Structure 1
Amino acid sequence: MSAEKLLTLDFSKEEALTKVFPKLPVLTSKEAGWNGIYLAYDYHLPGETPEVAGQQHGIVIFTEVPTPIGAERKLDGCLRKEQVVQGDVVIVPANTGHRVQWDSAGGVIVLGFEPAILTHAIYEMVDVEQAAIAPHFAKPDPLIYQLGLTLKAELESGRLGSQLYAETIANLLAVHLLQHYSTQKLIIKNYTGGLPKYKLQQVIDYINAHLDRSLGLAELAAVVQMSPGYFARLFKQSINLAPHQYLIQCRVQRAKQLLCQGELTIAEIAYRVGFANQGHLNYHFKRLVGITPKAMLRHK
């Protein structure tokens, strides 16, 4: 059956998942504001899916598998029986037919991300004209497994600022997929030396001017006219921190300044510097400063 005749799945529309599963997943990234990457998680009972072709690249990650799951999977026209265990992943490129029938319950993360992420993420590092992802049946991949769990945990925490974190992980996934699941071997260029000082300062100034809102990796990379993946690598080389780590440090530093001024409550400061709530400010403040904002006020 050709991809044109298959049921089309658009990961960007949460309700589209009901074409595949009997109900909406218990956790999705719909409200997270992530750019071009979508996550759905649920604990699925034995069942089957229709054959669908996603508009986005898809990654299926098996997270809780009490006993090996027997599955019959059709992927890109090939039919295979397999035993799926925790940590296995399935790679389904965009516009590729996929259906599966399975006999045991298990927790599953489904990631979808726009094909443009591959090219936008790393166009300085590979010849993107040769970049294409190949389908893969279930196999262990510790890095994808951990990155999937990290994204799920970020959603569950409800932290504001997860857009930057999610886009950073999406870029890591893009590089990993092209290195290990490409239709042909690609050499990822390695750049060293960090950002030029004036470009680093441009990004730092931009971050500090927009601490009160969610910032994305693509947005920061655009400030210095780079691809997100290239920018993220050089930024970390420059200051030994990933962009999302530096953003949190800036928010905590601004919170310290506002606490010293004594004009706002801790809750007001949390929102002013871009944290989702006072609890998130408390968590990062104590982690980086060593004491809570309340304790700092007592020792002013």
Structure 2
Amino acid sequence: MGALSERLVSLLGLQRRPAQLTGALGKTGVMVAKIREDSPQLEMTHEVPEDDAYIVGLIPRDYPDFCFWQDGRAAPAVSNRGGDTIFYDLRRNPRFLKNAPMGAVAFYFPRSAFDEIADDASAYRIEELRAPNGQGLDDPVIRHLACTLVGGFDRPQEVSHIFFEHVSFAVCAHVAQAYGGLRPNSMGRRGGLAAWQERRAKEILAANLDGAVGLTELARECRLSVSHFSRAFRKSMGVAPHRWLMNRRVELAKDLLRDREASLSQVALRCGFADQSHFTRVFSRRAGVSPGAWRRGAAA
């Protein structure tokens, strides 16, 4: 069970642990989890130990009469709307009244994550996030990025760890810029990967077609921070690591499909897909035809 899920269980008083898939960015411990509680008891969330970190959550449904406390003081009740983003500063003992069904895609951002992003961009470190705690705000970027993860929580066997980490990092970088004052023009000044780094990254990805490897390991093998590695990889390869991995799966599948003795399910598993259905959906989107149709065309 990931540390974020444990924090959410403690903070929210959940009866069941939330569904979760966690990842880490460098040594910073950025994590993401999906939570849901349809029939909460009318009670306050729990106190949690002070932590120099934020939880940033996208809520999928309206939460009327949201009663929020921090530093032991009540804030005016607000009505948060589905699709809003809510910030919780864990240094200030955030609590709220569980008086309605709730859910969220929640990101945990410790101070070290923002420090790593700033250091890698040669920018000043962030002091505070300029966002209202406990009050929903409309952030289309966070909404779009968080929504891309929803299907992955429901079908984790079809989504690579790299993709979860990539999206989590993108949200963290956006928060740093939009609410922490990090200067956007300080980002991305460095070039691409060195030849040996590109070769090593491809080797690791090709050896882990199931997506079990994460950005942390790739960056460590290339002796880079995760943020630097992600930008350098995209600059060198033209796509993000998770996209390169998916493209590699499809190209390998095309090679294997030329062997008519191999079944589609065998090709799917050899290329790192969860099953034949997952293989068919991904291949069809990228190749424009189903694997079976592509095989018939290649044999013509």
* Distance in 1 (alpha carbons) for counterparts of 2:128 and 2:291: 47
1:13 and 2:13 aligned: no
Q: Which residue of 2 aligns with 1:295?
A: 293
* Pairs within 5 Å for 1:144-155: 144-155=142-153
* Distance in 2 (alpha carbons) for counterparts of 1:76 and 1:272: 54
Q: Which residue of 1 aligns with 2:70?
A: 75
* Equivalent pair of 2:23/2:161 in contact (CA under 8 Å): yes
Q: From the superposition, tell whether residues 133 and 24 of structure 1 become closer, same or farther in structure 2 (CA, over 3 Å).
A: farther
SS at match of 2:86: strand
Q: CA deviation at 1:242?
A: 1.6
Q: From the superposition, tell whether residues 120 and 269 of structure 1 become closer, same or farther in structure 2 (CA, over 3 Å).
A: farther
Q: Deviations over 1:39-94 (max 9, x none)?
A: 122154563323334755312222122xx611221124453122211222221234
* Distance in 2 (alpha carbons) for counterparts of 1:94 and 1:127: 24
* Equivalent pair of 2:10/2:46 in contact (CA under 8 Å): no
Which one of the candidate residues 240, 243, 255 is aligned to 2:241? 243
Q: From the superposition, tell whether residues 52 and 197 of structure 1 become closer, same or farther in structure 2 (CA, over 3 Å).
A: closer
SS at match of 2:59: strand
Q: Which residue of 2 aligns with 1:277?
A: 275
Q: CA deviation at 1:164?
A: 0.6
* Distance in 1 (alpha carbons) for counterparts of 2:160 and 2:210: 13
Q: Which residue of 2 aligns with 1:24?
A: 16
* Distance in 1 (alpha carbons) for counterparts of 2:194 and 2:37: 48
Return the letter of the residue paired with 1:41. Answer: I
Structure 2 portions without partners, runs of 5+: none
Q: CA deviation at 1:248?
A: 0.1
* Distance in 1 (alpha carbons) for counterparts of 2:3 and 2:280: 38
Return the letter of the residue paired with 1:191. Answer: G
* Equivalent pair of 2:56/2:85 in contact (CA under 8 Å): yes
Q: From the superposition, tell whether residues 84 and 125 of structure 1 become closer, same or farther in structure 2 (CA, over 3 Å).
A: same
Q: Mean Cα displacement is larger for which, 209-218 or 111-120?
A: 111-120
Q: From the superposition, tell whether residues 227 and 93 of structure 1 become closer, same or farther in structure 2 (CA, over 3 Å).
A: farther
Q: Mean Cα displacement is larger for which, 165-174 or 51-60?
A: 51-60
Return the letter of the residue paired with 1:153. Answer: G
Q: From the superposition, tell whether residues 291 and 11 of structure 1 become closer, same or farther in structure 2 (CA, over 3 Å).
A: same
Which one of the candidate residues 36, 42, 45 is aligned to 2:36? 42
What is the aligned residue count? 283
* Equivalent pair of 1:38/1:113 in contact (CA under 8 Å): no
- Structure with more of its chain in strand, by fraction: 1
Return the letter of the residue paired with 2:33. Answer: L
* Equivalent pair of 1:70/1:83 in contact (CA under 8 Å): yes
1:84 and 2:80 aligned: yes
Structure 1 portions without partners, runs of 5+: 1-8
1:98 and 2:91 aligned: no
Aligned residues with identical type, % of pairs: 22
* TM-score, reference length from structure 1: 0.80
Q: Deviations over 1:209-256 (max 9, x none)?
A: 332452212222223222222222232233331211111000111111
* Distance in 2 (alpha carbons) for counterparts of 1:213 and 1:143: 25
- Measured on the aligned residues, the alpha-carbon RMSD in Å equals 2.9
Return the letter of the residue paired with 1:73. Answer: F
* TM-score, reference length from structure 2: 0.80
* Equivalent pair of 2:118/2:182 in contact (CA under 8 Å): no
* Equivalent pair of 2:109/2:172 in contact (CA under 8 Å): no
* Pairs within 5 Å for 1:129-278: 130-134=125-129, 136-137=132-133, 138=135, 139-182=137-180, 185-188=181-184, 189-192=186-189, 194-196=191-193, 198=195, 199-278=197-276
* Equivalent pair of 1:126/1:187 in contact (CA under 8 Å): no
* Distance in 2 (alpha carbons) for counterparts of 1:271 and 1:84: 44
Return the letter of the residue paired with 2:79. Answer: Q
Q: Which residue of 2 aligns with 1:60?
A: 57
Q: CA deviation at 1:125?
A: 1.0
Return the letter of the residue paired with 1:39. Answer: A
Q: Mean Cα displacement is larger for which, 158-167 or 190-199?
A: 190-199
Return the letter of the residue paired with 2:75. Answer: R
SS at match of 2:257: helix
* Equivalent pair of 2:160/2:210 in contact (CA under 8 Å): no
* Equivalent pair of 1:221/1:228 in contact (CA under 8 Å): yes
